[in-house]
């Protein structure tokens, strides 16, 4: 099993003397930068001239420079701009990565697929919180942590792991636990998971279930509730207590039906297709396709996105969410309060 590290495994001394450049001030960037600063680490945020994030970083009390200036000053550069722009940003900062510096990532895509080839004398590591940035920040401020992953791609100095652990501690991850992995494992499992299960698999399952009911003459509203809305209740149970808690919480009828019919839908054919998806992740075919798609200005992506937005389930979902209280805060604010 993979090694798990906690606060006791990390030493503040391994990072306290260093200047950290956080490139990007988006989801991860703002959380890492603010948590590092609160941990009394010298932080400089690297953002391009005219960047819309500059004001936010300054308002939060942080020092801002261009990515190149920030990298020149730093001993550790955290690459927290979007994955698709990282190769260009890397080209700009590469001359400022000195022997013994560290280049740190929160996702392995560009290094694993050879889009970024850091100098041989630079440590290359990864601290990847398993959560969106706003939670990384909120948990830290609440005195809690966010679980994360640690990976070392290149240990040029011999201190790469200690330093990465100190970074993980400074952003709060070791409070919750940091699991050691590799750039390859993190990248390939992340891509497979989001494609086959989390994002791609779930949305296709939802749409297929919805279409099956509507095509059979059931109402769009019922199909939406059964195939989309209730998914949250099931996911919450899985998240809290795994398969066991979910099966315990639903009716025996739902449990028996699910246990016998789930595999009728996700059958050997679906598992074969999952293997194909995994192979395309492993052999780099998906990565090449996505890189080419970006170079071409994202034509297929834009078209797929439009088609998804135009799906009937989006219309009925918007109507129903607006109708009911769980439609959100805006609706709540407009709803007259019942007499007390
Ligand atoms: P974001 O999309 O939130 O990053 C946006 C930031 O990058 C902005 O500050 C933006 O500034 C800046 N930026 C965009 N383009 C450029 C450019 N060409 N040059 C310089 N700066 C630029 O990124 P994320 O935080 O989502 O992702 C960062 C890394 O973290 C990725 O490797 C991602 O895979 C990883 N990750 C993300 C997670 C998440 O939940 N989001 C979870 C775990 C890992 P501007 O105003 O100039 O556009
Ligand atoms: Mg992921
Ligand atoms: Mg991902």
pLDDT digits (tens, 9 = 90+) for 21-78: 999 999 999 999 999 999 999 999 999 999 999 999 999 999 999 999 999 999 999 9
Q: Supply the pLDDT for residue 310.
A: 98
My answer on whether 164 and 205 are in the same domain is no
Q: Whose CA is nearest to atom 23 of ligand 1?
A: 82
Can you tell me which atom of ligand 1 is nearest the CA of 52? 46
My answer on whether 173 and 195 are in the same domain is no
Last residue of a domain, one of 181, 206, 241: 181
Q: Whose CA is nearest to atom 14 of ligand 1?
A: 81
Q: Whose CA is nearest to atom 45 of ligand 1?
A: 51
Q: Give the residue numbers spanning the domain of 163.
A: 4-181
My answer on whether 166 and 204 are in the same domain is no
What Å distances lie between residue 145 and 141, 152, 181, 283, CA to CA?
A: 9, 21, 19, 35
pLDDT > 90? residue 206: yes
Spatial neighbors of 223 by CB under 8 A, at least 6 apart, are 209, 210, 213, 214, 313, 316
Residue of 81, 149, 168, 198 to test ligand 1 pocket, by largest number of atoms within 8 Å of CB? 81
The number of folded domains in the chain is: 2
Classified as helix, coil or strand, 19 is strand
Residue of 26, 116, 290 to test ligand 1 pocket, by largest number of atoms within 8 Å of CB? 26
Tell how far the Cα of 28 is from the centroid of ligand 1, in angstroms.
Answer: 7
219-241 mean pLDDT = 97
Main-chain phi, psi angles of 157, to 5 degrees: -95, -20
Q: For residue 334, is it within any domain?
A: no
244-259 mean pLDDT = 98
My answer on whether 163 and 45 are in the same domain is yes
Cα 302 to Cα 279: distance, rounded to the nearest angstrom: 25
Tell me the β-bridge partners of 69.
none
In the structure encoding, which two tokens stand for residue 93, read together? 């900062």
Strand locations in the chain (E)? 4-5, 19-23, 42-46, 63-65, 76-79, 102-105, 123-129, 148-154, 178-181
90-103 mean pLDDT = 98
Lowest mean pLDDT, pick from 7-21, 141-155, 262-276, 314-328? 314-328
Give pLDDT tens digits for 268-278. 999 999 999 99
My answer on whether 200 and 268 are in the same domain is yes
Last residue of a domain, one of 132, 148, 181: 181
Q: Which DSSP category does 194 fall into? A: I
My answer on whether 250 and 310 are in the same domain is yes
Cα 25 to Cα 2: distance, rounded to the nearest angstrom: 31
Q: For residue 339, is it within any domain?
A: no
With bands split at pLDDT 50, 70 and 90, how would you rate the model's confidence at 328?
Answer: low
Give pLDDT tens digits for 166-181. 999 999 999 999 999 9
Q: Which residue ranges have their beta carbon within 6 Å of ligand 1?
A: 24-29, 47-48, 51-53, 67, 80-83, 85, 89, 106-107, 128-129, 132-133
Last residue of a domain, one of 148, 181, 214: 181
My answer on whether 210 and 315 are in the same domain is yes
Q: Residue 214: how many CA atoms within 13 Å on its side-chain side? A: 16
Concatenated DSSP letters for 245-294? HHHHHS-HHHHHHHHHHHHHHS-HHHHHHHHHHHHHHHTSHHHHHHHHHH
**Terminal C-alpha separation, the chain:** 56
Tell how far the Cα of 194 is from the centroid of ligand 3, in angstroms.
Answer: 6
With bands split at pLDDT 50, 70 and 90, how would you rate the model's confidence at 337?
Answer: very low
Q: Supply the pLDDT for residue 199.
A: 97
With bands split at pLDDT 50, 70 and 90, how would you rate the model's confidence at 323?
Answer: confident
My answer on whether 150 and 239 are in the same domain is no
My answer on whether 158 and 265 are in the same domain is no
Can you tell me which atom of ligand 1 is nearest the CA of 54? 46
Q: In percent, how much of the chain has pLDDT > 90? A: 94
Q: For residue 17, is it within any domain?
A: yes
Cα 76 to Cα 122: distance, rounded to the nearest angstrom: 10
pLDDT > 70? residue 229: yes
Q: For residue 70, is it within any domain?
A: yes
Could you list the active site residues?
107
Per DSSP bridges, beta strands 19-23 and 42-46 are parallel
With bands split at pLDDT 50, 70 and 90, how would you rate the model's confidence at 296?
Answer: very high
Q: Supply the pLDDT for residue 21.
A: 98
Counting DSSP H helices and E strands in the chain, the numbers are 18, 9
């Amino acid at each position: 099993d993979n090694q798990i590290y906690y606060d006791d495994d990390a030493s503040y001394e391994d990072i306290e003397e260093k200047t950290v450049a956080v490139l990007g001030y988006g989801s991860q960037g703002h959380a890492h930068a603010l948590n590092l600063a609160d941990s009394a680490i010298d932080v400089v945020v690297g953002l391009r001239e005219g960047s819309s994030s500059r004001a936010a970083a300054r308002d939060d009390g942080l020092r801002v420079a261009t990515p190149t200036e920030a990298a020149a000053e730093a001993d550790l550069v955290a690459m927290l701009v979007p994955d698709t722009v990282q190769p260009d940003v890397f080209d700009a900062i590469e001359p400022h990565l000195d022997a013994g510096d560290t280049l740190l990532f929160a996702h392995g895509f560009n290094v694993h697929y050879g889009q970024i080839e850091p100098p041989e004398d630079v440590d290359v590591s990864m601290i990847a919180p398993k959560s969106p940035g706003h939670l990384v920040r909120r948990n830290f401020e609440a005195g809690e942590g966010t679980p994360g992953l640690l990976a070392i791609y290149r240990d040029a100095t011999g201190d790469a792991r200690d330093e990465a652990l100190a970074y993980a501690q400074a952003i709060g991850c070791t409070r919750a636990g940091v699991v050691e992995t590799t750039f390859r494992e993190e990248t390939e499992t992340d891509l497979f998971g989001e494609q086959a299960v989390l994002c791609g698999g779930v949305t296709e399952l939802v749409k297929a279930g919805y279409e099956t009911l509507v095509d059979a003459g059931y109402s769009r509203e019922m199909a939406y509730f059964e195939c989309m809305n209730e998914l949250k209740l099931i996911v919450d149970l899985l998240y809290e207590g795994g398969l066991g808690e979910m099966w315990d919480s639903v009716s025996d009828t739902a449990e028996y039906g699910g246990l016998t019919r789930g595999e009728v839908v996700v059958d050997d054919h679906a598992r074969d297709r999952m293997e194909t998806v995994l192979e395309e992740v492993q052999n780099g075919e998906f990565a090449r396709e996505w890189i080419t798609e970006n170079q071409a200005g994202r034509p297929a992506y834009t078209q797929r996105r439009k088609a998804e937005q135009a799906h009937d389930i989006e219309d009925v979902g918007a109507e129903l969410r607006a109708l009911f209280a769980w439609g959100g805060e805006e609706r709540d604010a407009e709803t007259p309060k019942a007499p007390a």
